[in-house]
Amino acid sequence: MSTINQSGWKPEMGSAGEAGPATYTGNKALMLEEALIFEIGTTGTTGVDLADAPKVTPRLGNLARHRDIGLPGLSEPETVRHYTRLSRQNYAIDLGFFPLGSCTMKHNPRLNEKVARMEGFADVHPLQPVETVQGALAVINELAVWLIKLTGMHAVAMTPKAGAHGELCGILAIKAALEARGDPRSVILVPESAHGTNPATAAFAGYAVENIPATSEGRVDLAALKARLGPDVAGVMITNPNTCGLFERDMKAISDAVHAAGGYVYCDGANFNAIVGRVRPGDLGIDAMHINLHKTFSTPHGGGGPGSGPVVLSEALSPFGPIPFTERHADGHYTLVEEETASARHPHSFGRMVAFHGQMGMFTRALSYIMSHGADGLRQVAEDAVLNANYILRSLEDVLDAPFAHSGPCMHEALFSDNGLAEGFSTLDIAKGLIDEGYHPMTVYFPLVVHGAMLIEPTETESKATLDQFIGAMRSVVQRAKAGDPMLKSAPHHAPRRRLDETQAARKPVLVWREPEQAVAAE
């Protein structure tokens, strides 16, 4: 089983069940347990030194806070240790391969972090006079120009805070455009394989959501879609490349049909990494598409955000996009179109989506990444991402059911199902087995159209040696699942925690810490 891989490192199969002796602390050498700040800190401790407050007569009305807040403090060394210990219980891209499908967990360049922390970006207030923030506005504008050119679209709304927020922006632009022409419509069509955010967004904006069926190939059923189009359909939301990892060959025909029926086409751009530099969504008839800067353009995921979701818009939708946005003038200086100037400069805007100007800290990082790669490098990004995914697809399809392997090459991610595993074994067991092998699992049970889906997205920032070792580990775990290995059923064994009781967590939610005696009293 053990083979020397290309990086020369010899993987050893660990032997099962060697837990070792129990320790007094519960620690296992470098695996350190850490209590909660409420258990180790006190309200009388602080890790900051403050100047003495000037003696003044308070102007707080009668609202001075007397009751204890209950916020424990730690000294600086304790604080650093607390969080450093916590950090070591996390898996991360910096530690290893993170093939989470649809999430594009690529390397996060540290140059991005460096430029985002430059004082002129990190230490400016969003409401400073525009004359004092020309450099910040330039960053937003330069990134906007890149995004427009990379997508072949007409304009971009920079303020949405994340992908789902971008979806909302696009759908609101569609709604505003329809209302402006006196043709309010009530239905948004969404494929069954869509991200959950798509139907949630359409519903949030007041639309009824209807499913579009897929073909056996895993693509949108164009005939069924055409049959459903009509005067009540405001638009479609389509992910391309789709969540089965396939390019929607009929995208242009879909767009043409939707436009002919008076609707608009929203594209979920979560998977833009597969086509950046090779295909421009504008050439496919898209009217709006969000771009997850934290996916395609390498800004860090940060354990669940912050994200950033600028939305590129077609000429038809551009007049309805949100405020504020930047404008570059002939002499090179920048202004903002916001409430004050909107009625003159952008009268059809559907309004404001956020306070201030969007995720500036993500704009600097994304622009740094985009400039580093350039037009040629971004094209190579898509090519390597697609190459890596196809390499995984073809290296595993003999041991794992790949329901759409016959549908042509995959794009940036490879989709498998749990067919063929031993009775009682499922995708979850494979995922947990991969944890013991030192990997973050792939996306599991999504998309919903495939039973026990496993969606593997390697991204372009992984070497062939990394992929080869992962393929070996996958084959091993899959064989164990086919053989019904009970040790796999109880995996992970080597992680900081064993499988967690999610049922208990949901039945009796404990969402905040309470002093033990208080908790007892409450029962």
Partner 1 sequence: MRYLPLTPSDRQAMLAVIGAKSIDDLFADVPAEARLDGPIHGLPNHASEMAVERHFSNLTRQNMTASHTPFFLGAGAYKHHVPASVDHIIQRGEFLTAYTPYQPEIAQGTLQMLFEFQTQVARLFGCDVANASMYDGSTACWEAIGMAGRITKRSKAVLSSGLHPHYVSVAKTMAQYTGDTLDTALPELSPATDSARLLGAIDGETSCVVVQYPDILGRIEDLSAIAAKAHEHGALLIAVVTEPVALGAIKAPGEMGADIVVGEGQSLGVGLQFGGPYVGLFACKEKFVRQMPGRLCGETVDAEGKRGFVLTLSTREQHIRREKATSNICTNSGLCALAFSIHLTLLGEKGLRGLAELNHGLAVQAADRLSQIAGVELVNDTFFNEFTLKLPKEARPVVRALADRKVLGGVSLGRLYPDVDALANGLVVAVTEAATMEDVETFAAALQEVLA
Partner 2 sequence: MTRYFTEDHEWIEVDGDSATVGITDYAQSQLGDIVFAEVPATGATLKKGGDAAVVESVKAASDVYAPVSGTVIEGNAALEGDPALVNNDPEGEGWFFKITLSDTSELDSLMDAAAYKAFVDGL
Q: Name the site residues for partner 2 (rule: CB under 8 A).
A: 445, 502-503, 505-507
Q: How many residues does the chain have?
A: 523
Q: Which does 58 bind (CB under 5 to 8 A by kind): partner 2, partner 1, none?
A: partner 1
C-alpha–C-alpha distance, residues 372 and 75, integer Å: 40
- Minimum Å gap between C-beta 503 and partner 2 is 4
Among 144, 291, 170, smallest CA distance to 234 is for 170
Answer for the pair 441, 431: CB distance below 8 angstroms, yes or no: yes
The site partner of 394 among partner 1, partner 2, none (C-beta below 5 to 8 Å per kind) is partner 1
How many other C-beta atoms can be found within 10 angstroms of the C-beta atom of residue 155?
17
Structure token digits, residue 134:
């020309």
- Positions 332 through 371 that interact with partner 1 (CB under 8 A): 339-340, 350-362, 364, 368, 371
362 secondary structure, DSSP code: H
Determine, following the binding rule CB under 8 A, whether residue 472 of this chain makes contact with partner 1. no
Tokens of 323: 């405020």
Show the CA angle centred on residue 21, arms to residues 17 and 23, nearest 5°: 130
Contact yes or no for 93/106 (Cβ under 8 A):
yes
Q: Which is nearer to partner 1, 145 or 260 (CB)?
A: 145
Distance in Å, CB of 291 to partner 1, minimum: 14
Q: How far is CA 370 from CA 121, 139, 147, 201, 278, in A?
A: 18, 12, 10, 29, 15
**CB neighbours of 17 closer than 8 A, spacing ≥ 6?**
487, 493
Rounded to a whole number of angstroms, the minimum distance from the CB of residue 174 to partner 1 is 11
- Pick the closer one to partner 2 by CB: 297 or 446: 446
Q: Cβ of residue 506: shortest distance to partner 2, in angstroms? A: 4
364 to 403, contacts with partner 1 by CB under 8 A?
A: 364, 368, 371-381, 383-384, 386-388, 390-391, 393-395
Binding to partner 1 in span 111-140, by CB under 8 A:
111, 113-115, 117-129, 131-136, 138-139
Smallest distance from the beta carbon of 353 to partner 1, in angstroms? 6
- Segment interacting with partner 1, rule: CB under 8 A, options 51-59, 222-230, 419-427, 479-487: 51-59
Nearer to partner 1, 152 or 484 (CB): 152
H helix or E strand, kind and range, residue 122? helix 119-122
CA dihedral 92→95→100→105, nearest 10 degrees, is 80
Both tokens of 153, joined, read: 């679209």
Residue window 237-256: x/- pattern of binding to partner 1, with contact defined by CB under 8 A: ---------xx-x-xx----
Among 99, 153, 167, 481, binds partner 1 (CB under 8 A): 167
Span of 10-18, 46-54, 261-269, 473-481 interacting with partner 1 by CB under 8 A: 46-54
Q: Least distance to partner 1 from the beta carbon of 24, Å?
A: 16
Nearest alpha-carbon partner for 217 in 239, 248, 196, 241: 248
If the CB atoms of residues 38 and 445 are measured against partner 2, the closer one turns out to be 445
Among residues 47 and 196, whose Cβ is nearest to partner 2? 196
- Indicate the helix (H) or strand (E) that contains 477: helix 464-483
Report the residue number, 465 or 505, with the smaller CB distance to partner 2: 505
Residues 6+ apart with CB under 8 A from 391: 458, 464, 467
> Could you say whether residue 213 binds partner 1 (CB under 8 A)?
no
Binding pattern for the stretch 298-337 against partner 1, x by CB under 8 A and - elsewhere: x-xxxxxxxxx-------------x---------------
Residue 512's binding partner among partner 2, partner 1, none (Cβ under 5 to 8 angstroms by kind) is: partner 1
CB of 507 to partner 2, least distance (A): 5
In the complex, least distance from residue 32 CB atom to partner 1, rounded to whole angstroms? 11
Within residues 57-76, the interface with partner 1 by CB under 8 A covers 57-74, 76
User: Looking at beta carbons only, is 57 or 503 nearer to partner 2?
Assistant: 503
- Angstrom CA distances, 154 to 181, 313, 362, stand at 20, 6, 22
Nearer to partner 2, 317 or 454 (CB): 454
Q: How far is the CB of 155 from partner 1 (least distance, A)?
A: 17
Q: Which of 271, 314, 427, 461 binds partner 1 (CB under 8 A)?
A: 461
Instruction: Report the candidate in 293, 444, 439, 461 with the shortest Cα–Cα distance to residue 387.
Output: 461
- Provide, rounded to whole angstroms, the least separation between the CB of residue 2 and partner 1: 21
SS3 state of residue 111 = helix
Residue 155 in contact with partner 1, rule: CB under 8 A: no
Minimum gap (Å) between residue 305 Cβ and partner 1: 4
Q: Cis peptide before 306, with omega less than 30 degrees from 0? A: yes
Between CA 179 and CA 160 the distance in angstroms is 22
> Distance between CA 348 and CA 345 in Å, rounded?
9
Query: One-letter amino acid identity for 21?
Result: P
Q: How many whole angstroms separate alpha carbon 191 and alpha carbon 187? A: 13
CB of 329 or CB of 508, closer to partner 2 = 508
What values do phi and psi take at 256, rounded to 5? -60, -40
Binding residue for partner 1 (CB under 8 A) from 5, 11, 16, 204?
A: 204
